[in-house]
Amino acid sequence: MYLLILTAWQVEGYSGYYALCAAIKRAIKEGIDILNPNLTATITEEQLRNVLRGDTEVEIPLLPERVRCLHEVSQILIDKFAGSFRNVVITAENSAKTLLSLIVNNFSCFKDEAVFMDRPVSFYKRAQILIGDIWACFKGQGLGYFKDIDDEMTMFADYRVPQTLLWFGVFEYSKHLSDKLKRDILKNGDIEEQEIRGCSIHAVELLKDYANKKLASKATNSVLIDHFLWDFRRKHAQEIANMGLPFHKVFCIYY
């Protein structure tokens, strides 16, 4: 059900992340001050439903949770950072590690953590992709310059990049796990979910180290590899689907 809903929600013909971007761009064109935390701190579910309305009657998943996250983030920006995320970035003083800490310690909806075999673990997918997007948008300069991004960022542990790693044969799933992923929706924090995300992070770190040893100079990082794998999946979506390669499905706010 989750897969069908997520696939069906579209904005201006786009799906997934690009649909969200299209909805935000449309709201700005319509004169909605959607980037102003003073508005989003009190935005209602009905107002956000209008902003994120799709091409059909299908509604974006987890709408109440999205409202709650907007309220939290907006109010903290107002209370602690003069109403601007730019001030959070400036406070980090060009350190991706410091910015990551600022994000997860101030905004609980980014605190992507779990317990694995009695040990606390963290993935911080959304916090890291936020930093990665700033870095990419500013081309690593100005506000987007982070002196430690090559060493302090991992891949963004979602559900599509592991599927692409399967495609390339970087790792394999057991038949039992593969069948389960095709059949079931996992819960956030399930051991299988944590193992998939953790192995994906480790695999990309190995790829990064291998690539940098082969290149004349250190020229890649986990963010760039993640971008390549994610873009590859979108460009080859039908081929990957035809192969029957599964991806894990989870209802949560951390992806």
Q: What is the DSSP string of 110-125?
A: G--EEEETTEEEE--H
Q: Where are the domains positioned within the chain?
A: 1-83, 110-255
CB 162 within 8 A of CB 195: no
Taking the C-alpha atoms of residue 176 and residue 203, their distance in angstroms, rounded to an integer, is: 21
> Which stretch of DSSP H or E encloses residue 14?
strand 14-15
Where helices occur in 52-190 by DSSP H, the ranges are 63-80, 85-91, 96-106, 125-137, 149-152, 160-167, 175-183
Please give the Cα distance from 223 to 248 (Å, whole number).
21
- Active site members: 158
Tell me, what's the pLDDT at 219? 82
Which residue shows structure tokens 């700005």? 28
> Tokens 């100079």 belong to which residue?
217
pLDDT tens for the 255 residues of the chain, in order: 334 444 579 999 999 899 999 999 999 999 999 999 999 999 999 999 999 999 999 999 999 999 999 999 999 999 999 999 999 999 999 999 999 999 999 999 999 999 999 999 999 999 999 999 999 999 999 999 999 999 999 999 999 999 999 999 999 999 999 999 999 999 999 999 999 999 999 999 999 999 999 987 778 999 999 999 999 999 999 999 999 999 999 999 999
Q: What is the pTM of this model?
A: 0.93
Q: Identify the pLDDT of residue 8.
A: 77
3-state secondary structure of 92: coil
**Both structure tokens of 33:** 């001050």
| Cα separation, 206 vs 170, whole angstroms | 10
- Which class for 138: exposed (0-12), middle (13-18), buried (19 or more C-beta within 10 A)? middle
**3-state SS class at 250:** strand
pLDDT of 3: 42
Q: What is the pLDDT of residue 7?
A: 55
Burial annotation 17-27 (CB, 10 A radius, 16+ → b, else e): eebbebbbebb
